[in-house]
């Protein structure tokens, strides 16, 4: 099987103790796969005793017991004790693969690096070349093949691959105003969804969109506050951003004029969401919710960066990386939150296509 990855993936390497906010301290439950669990069972001595005491077996799936600070018990001075004492091969799959993600199709495995990692976010946001991918042979993928990897219509799969290429090319077209690019893609997603719903897989083109409805981010911020929290401070942060953004919205043009590089970061974020989620539509025949996820995420992240600029009267790449990483942790890396997001994209008035388009004036 071939593995296809974004070109920027080649730049990624874990920065370990140089990471300001290690994934080992993110408060996530870290599951241990069966093969690694057997390895840990065989470890003896003082460290083996610590390993055995730090693993919960009560729920059917083994996972590490987080310490009193909600950190992995093996995080020490920014490094992983399992790695330093037993070697890289001893890490469980989640730890060795993070922040990589994958999607399986019949003859192809696609992947990339997730925005929840600060080094991955820095690489993605600062990437200054055209989005391209590369293929490598990945024999191990045949053993990992998802049982649903071929449960889709081949014509729809081909149709969506072509559409995704068009979307990414449009997002990269700097001759078009950034806001207009996003607006066009939102409407294109709406047209594609109608094609899918009526089983008319036409070769649609992305067109310039002028229609929209009056909208603001308050309702979307409110919706995000209803999702499951990873960080208990996240809801308060969202509420503060909502107030600051809506009170100072008229300064957004000034902000964009002073920091045009932010739109480049947002373009890369938009492409990331399209690359990672859009083609999943071949499994559930739903692409519009994936387009809305991209657009709403870009709008919310821009608002957060704008609020940071108002607070500091300046903005740096690292500020944007911190914001994007936190957003990704809270929204992307909770499956329930993603499902609620996709459901809300059809049920909430704030997620109406014209209203989302109206966020990009």
Q: 319: which 2 tokens?
A: 């500020």
Q: What pLDDT score does 73 carry?
A: 85
Quick one: which of 20, 85, 100 has its CA closest to 49? Answer: 85
Residues 111 and 146 in one domain: yes
Q: What pLDDT score does 181 carry?
A: 97
Contact 279, 286 (CB under 8 A): no
Q: Half-sphere exposure (CA, 13 Å, Cβ side) for 152?
A: 25
Residues 160 and 142 in one domain: no
Residues 191 and 286 in one domain: yes
Q: What pLDDT score does 232 carry?
A: 87
Quick one: which of 240, 232, 180, 227 has its CA closest to 206? Answer: 180
Residues 99 and 23 in one domain: yes
Domain boundary, last residue among 125, 150, 175: 150
Residues 95 and 184 in one domain: no
**Strand, coil or helix: 304:** helix
Residues 256 and 332 in one domain: yes
Residues 12 and 27 in one domain: yes
Domain boundary, last residue among 150, 168, 199: 150
Contact 269, 298 (CB under 8 A): yes
Q: What pLDDT score does 146 carry?
A: 54
Residues 6 and 87 in one domain: yes
Residue 26 pLDDT grade (very low, low, confident, very high; cuts 50, 70, 90) = low
Residues 319-328 pLDDT 10s: 999 999 999 9
Q: 286: which 2 tokens?
A: 């739903």
Structurally, how many domains does the chain consist of?
2
Average pLDDT (26-54) is 83
Average pLDDT, the chain: 91
Q: Which of 20-34, 101-115, 137-151 has the highest mean pLDDT?
A: 101-115
Residues 220-240 pLDDT 10s: 999 999 999 988 899 999 999
**Strand, coil or helix: 328:** helix
255's enclosing H/E stretch is: helix 252-258
Q: What pLDDT score does 51 carry?
A: 86
Residues 283 and 170 in one domain: yes
Residues 63 and 110 in one domain: yes
Kindly report the number of other CB atoms within 10 A of residue 243's CB atom.
13
Residues 164 and 17 in one domain: no
Q: What pLDDT score does 92 carry?
A: 83
Average pLDDT (109-119) is 95
Q: What pLDDT score does 23 carry?
A: 65
Question: Percent of the chain having pLDDT more than 70?
Answer: 94
Contact 172, 271 (CB under 8 A): yes
Residues 60-74 pLDDT 10s: 678 888 888 778 888
- Whether the per-residue pLDDT at 119 is higher than 90: the answer is yes
- Domain containing 321 equals 154-358
Q: What pLDDT score does 277 carry?
A: 98
Residues 292 and 216 in one domain: yes
Q: What pLDDT score does 316 carry?
A: 97
Residues 126-162 pLDDT 10s: 999 999 999 999 876 555 555 566 789 999 999 999 9
Q: What pLDDT score does 109 carry?
A: 95
Which whole-number Å values give the CA distances from 258 to 11, 61, 231, 315, in the listed order? 29, 51, 32, 10
| Contacts with 21 (C-beta within 8 Å, 6 or more apart), sequence order | 118, 322, 325
> Residue 228 gets which letter from DSSP?
P
> Residue 31 gets which letter from DSSP?
B
Lowest mean pLDDT among 39-43, 97-101, 146-150: 146-150
The rounded distance, in Å, linking the Cα atoms of 334 and 88 is 26
* Higher-confidence position of 191 and 47: 191
Residue 14 pLDDT grade (very low, low, confident, very high; cuts 50, 70, 90) = confident
Torsions phi, psi for 5 (to 5 deg): -135, 155
Residues 269-301 pLDDT 10s: 999 999 999 999 999 999 999 999 999 999 999
Domain boundary, last residue among 150, 171, 199: 150
The rounded distance, in Å, linking the Cα atoms of 317 and 323 is 10
């Amino acid at each position: 099987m071939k593995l296809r990855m974004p070109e920027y993936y080649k730049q990624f390497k874990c920065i370990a103790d140089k990471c300001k906010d290690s994934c080992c301290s993110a408060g996530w439950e870290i599951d241990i796969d069966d093969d690694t669990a057997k390895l840990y069972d065989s470890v003896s001595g003082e460290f083996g005793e610590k390993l055995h005491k730090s693993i919960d077996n009560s729920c059917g799936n083994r996972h590490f017991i987080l310490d009193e600070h909600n950190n992995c018990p093996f995080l020490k001075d920014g490094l992983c004790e399992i790695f330093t004492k037993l070697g890289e091969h001893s890490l469980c799959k989640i730890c060795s693969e993070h922040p990589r993600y994958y999607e399986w199709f019949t003859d192809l495995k696609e992947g990339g690096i997730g925005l929840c990692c600060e080094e991955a976010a820095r690489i993605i946001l600062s990437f200054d070349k055209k989005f391209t991918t590369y293929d490598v042979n990945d024999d191990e993928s045949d053993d990992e093949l998802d049982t649903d990897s071929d449960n889709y219509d081949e014509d729809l799969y081909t149709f969506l691959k072509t559409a995704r290429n068009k979307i990414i090319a449009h997002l990269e077209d700097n001759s078009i105003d950034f806001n207009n690019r996003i607006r066009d893609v939102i409407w294109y997603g709406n047209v594609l969804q109608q094609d899918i719903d009526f089983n008319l897989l036409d070769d649609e083109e992305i067109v310039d969109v002028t229609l929209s409805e009056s909208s603001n981010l308050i309702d979307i911020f409110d919706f995000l506050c209803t999702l499951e929290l990873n960080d208990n401070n996240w809801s308060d942060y969202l509420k503060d951003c909502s107030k600051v953004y809506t009170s100072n919205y008229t300064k957004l043009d000034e902000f964009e004029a002073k920091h045009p590089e932010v739109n480049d970061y947002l373009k890369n974020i938009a492409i990331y969401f399209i690359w990672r989620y859009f083609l999943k539509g071949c499994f559930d025949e739903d692409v519009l919710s994936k387009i809305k996820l991209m657009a709403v995420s870009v709008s919310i992240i821009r608002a957060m960066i704008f609020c940071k600029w108002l607070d500091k009267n300046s903005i740096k790449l690292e500020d944007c990386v911190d914001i994007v990483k936190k957003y990704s942790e809270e929204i992307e890396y909770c499956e329930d939150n993603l499902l609620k997001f996709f459901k809300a994209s059809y049920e909430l008035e704030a997620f109406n296509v014209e209203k989302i388009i109206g966020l990009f004036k």
